[in-house]
Amino acid sequence: MPADVKNQKFTMLFDWFDQGGDGVLTHDDFRAMGALFGRLAAPDDRENVSAMRSAFEEWWRVLLARGDANGDGQIDRKEFLDLMVADITAPEHFEKAVLAIADALMRALDTDHDGVLSKDEYVRMYDALGIPPVHSEDAFRRLDRDGNGAISHDEFRTAITEFYLSSDENAPGNWLIGPIQQGS
Protein backbone atom coordinates (compact mmCIF):
# COMPACT_ATOMS: atom_id res chain seq x y z
CA MET A 1 0.00 0.00 0.00
CA PRO A 2 2.75 2.61 0.70
CA ALA A 3 3.85 2.88 -2.96
CA ASP A 4 0.18 3.10 -3.90
CA VAL A 5 -0.27 6.10 -1.59
CA LYS A 6 2.45 8.06 -3.38
CA ASN A 7 1.09 7.05 -6.78
CA GLN A 8 -2.39 8.20 -5.74
CA LYS A 9 -1.05 11.56 -4.56
CA PHE A 10 1.11 12.05 -7.64
CA THR A 11 -1.81 11.05 -9.89
CA MET A 12 -3.95 13.74 -8.21
CA LEU A 13 -1.09 16.19 -8.74
CA PHE A 14 -0.75 15.24 -12.42
CA ASP A 15 -4.48 15.79 -12.97
CA TRP A 16 -4.27 19.17 -11.24
CA PHE A 17 -1.17 20.26 -13.16
CA ASP A 18 -2.69 19.19 -16.50
CA GLN A 19 -4.25 22.61 -16.94
CA GLY A 20 -4.89 21.95 -20.65
CA GLY A 21 -6.77 18.75 -19.83
CA ASP A 22 -5.06 16.85 -22.65
CA GLY A 23 -3.50 14.05 -20.60
CA VAL A 24 0.08 15.32 -20.88
CA LEU A 25 2.06 18.01 -19.09
CA THR A 26 3.63 20.79 -21.10
CA HIS A 27 5.53 23.96 -20.41
CA ASP A 28 2.24 25.83 -20.88
CA ASP A 29 0.70 23.78 -18.03
CA PHE A 30 3.52 24.79 -15.68
CA ARG A 31 3.31 28.42 -16.75
CA ALA A 32 -0.44 28.25 -16.04
CA MET A 33 0.23 26.76 -12.59
CA GLY A 34 2.77 29.51 -11.87
CA ALA A 35 0.21 32.12 -12.90
CA LEU A 36 -2.53 30.41 -10.86
CA PHE A 37 -0.37 30.45 -7.74
CA GLY A 38 0.80 33.98 -8.52
CA ARG A 39 -2.79 35.24 -8.44
CA LEU A 40 -2.93 34.35 -4.75
CA ALA A 41 -0.47 37.12 -3.97
CA ALA A 42 -1.38 40.76 -3.63
CA PRO A 43 -1.07 42.69 -6.90
CA ASP A 44 2.06 44.48 -5.68
CA ASP A 45 3.73 41.33 -4.27
CA ARG A 46 6.17 40.84 -7.13
CA GLU A 47 8.69 38.97 -4.98
CA ASN A 48 6.40 36.06 -4.12
CA VAL A 49 4.79 35.96 -7.57
CA SER A 50 8.25 35.76 -9.12
CA ALA A 51 9.38 33.11 -6.63
CA MET A 52 6.39 30.87 -7.35
CA ARG A 53 6.71 31.24 -11.11
CA SER A 54 10.45 30.57 -10.95
CA ALA A 55 9.91 27.45 -8.86
CA PHE A 56 7.36 26.09 -11.36
CA GLU A 57 9.86 26.84 -14.14
CA GLU A 58 12.51 24.88 -12.21
CA TRP A 59 10.08 22.01 -11.72
CA TRP A 60 9.33 21.96 -15.45
CA ARG A 61 13.05 22.17 -16.31
CA VAL A 62 13.81 19.10 -14.17
CA LEU A 63 10.86 17.15 -15.59
CA LEU A 64 11.84 17.92 -19.16
CA ALA A 65 15.56 17.27 -18.67
CA ARG A 66 15.04 13.99 -16.82
CA GLY A 67 11.92 12.54 -18.38
CA ASP A 68 11.24 13.66 -21.93
CA ALA A 69 12.90 10.62 -23.51
CA ASN A 70 11.38 11.14 -26.95
CA GLY A 71 12.02 14.90 -27.03
CA ASP A 72 8.41 15.87 -27.75
CA GLY A 73 8.31 18.56 -25.04
CA GLN A 74 5.61 16.70 -23.10
CA ILE A 75 5.48 14.54 -19.99
CA ASP A 76 2.85 11.81 -19.87
CA ARG A 77 1.33 10.41 -16.67
CA LYS A 78 3.73 7.44 -16.38
CA GLU A 79 6.77 9.64 -16.99
CA PHE A 80 5.49 12.09 -14.37
CA LEU A 81 4.91 9.42 -11.75
CA ASP A 82 8.37 7.95 -12.34
CA LEU A 83 10.00 11.39 -12.28
CA MET A 84 8.25 12.46 -9.10
CA VAL A 85 9.71 9.51 -7.23
CA ALA A 86 13.17 9.57 -8.81
CA ASP A 87 13.91 13.25 -9.35
CA ILE A 88 11.49 15.89 -8.07
CA THR A 89 11.42 14.46 -4.57
CA ALA A 90 15.21 14.06 -4.53
CA PRO A 91 16.78 16.51 -2.04
CA GLU A 92 18.67 18.45 -4.71
CA HIS A 93 15.40 19.32 -6.50
CA PHE A 94 12.78 19.22 -3.76
CA GLU A 95 13.94 22.42 -2.06
CA LYS A 96 14.23 24.46 -5.29
CA ALA A 97 11.05 23.23 -6.94
CA VAL A 98 8.54 22.22 -4.29
CA LEU A 99 9.51 23.95 -1.04
CA ALA A 100 10.29 27.21 -2.86
CA ILE A 101 6.66 27.30 -3.99
CA ALA A 102 5.46 26.46 -0.48
CA ASP A 103 7.53 29.23 1.13
CA ALA A 104 6.43 31.90 -1.35
CA LEU A 105 2.82 30.70 -1.15
CA MET A 106 2.86 30.89 2.65
CA ARG A 107 4.17 34.46 2.51
CA ALA A 108 1.60 35.45 -0.13
CA LEU A 109 -1.35 33.85 1.68
CA ASP A 110 -0.48 35.37 5.04
CA THR A 111 -2.34 38.56 4.20
CA ASP A 112 -2.26 39.96 7.73
CA HIS A 113 1.49 39.18 8.03
CA ASP A 114 1.16 37.42 11.38
CA GLY A 115 3.33 34.47 10.33
CA VAL A 116 0.49 31.93 10.24
CA LEU A 117 -2.40 30.98 8.00
CA SER A 118 -5.83 31.49 9.48
CA LYS A 119 -8.65 29.21 8.44
CA ASP A 120 -9.98 31.96 6.13
CA GLU A 121 -6.59 32.37 4.45
CA TYR A 122 -6.29 28.61 3.98
CA VAL A 123 -9.82 28.23 2.58
CA ARG A 124 -9.10 31.13 0.20
CA MET A 125 -6.09 29.17 -1.09
CA TYR A 126 -8.20 26.05 -1.69
CA ASP A 127 -10.79 28.06 -3.55
CA ALA A 128 -8.35 30.09 -5.66
CA LEU A 129 -6.30 27.04 -6.67
CA GLY A 130 -9.37 25.22 -7.93
CA ILE A 131 -9.26 22.57 -5.22
CA PRO A 132 -12.77 21.54 -4.18
CA PRO A 133 -13.36 23.61 -1.03
CA VAL A 134 -15.64 20.94 0.41
CA HIS A 135 -12.52 19.43 2.02
CA SER A 136 -10.78 22.62 3.14
CA GLU A 137 -12.08 22.63 6.72
CA ASP A 138 -11.06 19.02 7.31
CA ALA A 139 -7.67 19.65 5.71
CA PHE A 140 -7.14 22.75 7.85
CA ARG A 141 -7.96 20.82 11.01
CA ARG A 142 -5.52 18.05 10.08
CA LEU A 143 -2.69 20.42 9.15
CA ASP A 144 -3.09 22.55 12.31
CA ARG A 145 -1.07 20.03 14.30
CA ASP A 146 -0.95 21.98 17.55
CA GLY A 147 -4.67 22.82 17.42
CA ASN A 148 -4.17 26.56 17.91
CA GLY A 149 -6.49 27.55 15.07
CA ALA A 150 -3.72 28.52 12.66
CA ILE A 151 -1.20 26.81 10.39
CA SER A 152 2.34 27.96 11.07
CA HIS A 153 5.07 28.09 8.45
CA ASP A 154 6.59 24.93 9.96
CA GLU A 155 3.22 23.14 9.91
CA PHE A 156 2.73 24.16 6.26
CA ARG A 157 6.22 22.94 5.27
CA THR A 158 5.64 19.70 7.18
CA ALA A 159 2.36 19.17 5.30
CA ILE A 160 4.04 19.81 1.94
CA THR A 161 6.88 17.45 2.80
CA GLU A 162 4.46 14.74 3.93
CA PHE A 163 2.39 15.09 0.78
CA TYR A 164 5.40 14.57 -1.46
CA LEU A 165 7.57 12.23 0.58
CA SER A 166 5.40 10.20 2.98
CA SER A 167 4.11 6.73 2.16
CA ASP A 168 1.91 6.82 5.27
CA GLU A 169 -1.67 6.88 4.06
CA ASN A 170 -2.72 8.57 7.33
CA ALA A 171 -0.20 11.42 7.21
CA PRO A 172 -2.03 14.75 7.69
CA GLY A 173 -0.10 16.30 4.80
CA ASN A 174 -1.88 13.98 2.40
CA TRP A 175 -4.87 16.32 2.74
CA LEU A 176 -2.98 19.24 1.24
CA ILE A 177 -5.05 19.19 -1.97
CA GLY A 178 -7.95 17.11 -0.68
CA PRO A 179 -8.35 13.50 0.39
CA ILE A 180 -6.41 10.82 -1.42
CA GLN A 181 -8.64 9.36 -4.09
CA GLN A 182 -8.91 5.73 -3.14
CA GLY A 183 -8.62 3.29 -5.99
CA SER A 184 -6.74 5.69 -8.30
What are the structural domain ranges in the chain?
2-175
Please tell me the distance from the alpha carbon of residue 100 to that of residue 135, in angstroms, as a whole number: 25
H-type helices in the chain, by residue range?
A: 2-17, 27-38, 46-67, 77-83, 91-94, 100-109, 119-128, 136-143, 153-165
Band (pLDDT 50/70/90 cuts) for residue 181 is low
Q: Are 127 and 139 in contact (CB under 8 A)?
A: no
Taking CA atoms, 128 is separated from 30, 61, 157, in Å, by 16, 25, 20
Q: Are 145 and 175 in contact (CB under 8 A)?
A: no
User: pLDDT of 92-136, one tens digit each?
Assistant: 788 888 888 889 889 888 888 899 999 988 888 888 888 877 888
CB atoms within 10 A of CB 35: 14
User: pLDDT of 137-153, one tens digit each?
Assistant: 888 999 999 999 999 99
**Which whole number is the average pLDDT over 154-166?**
91
Q: Are 76 and 87 in contact (CB under 8 A)?
A: no
User: pLDDT of 20-40, one tens digit each?
Assistant: 999 999 999 999 999 999 998
Diameter of the chain measured on Cα atoms: 50
Please tell me the distance from the alpha carbon of residue 71 to that of residue 111, in angstroms, as a whole number: 42
Q: Are 119 and 140 in contact (CB under 8 A)?
A: yes
Q: What is the CATH number of domain 2-175?
A: 1.10.238.10
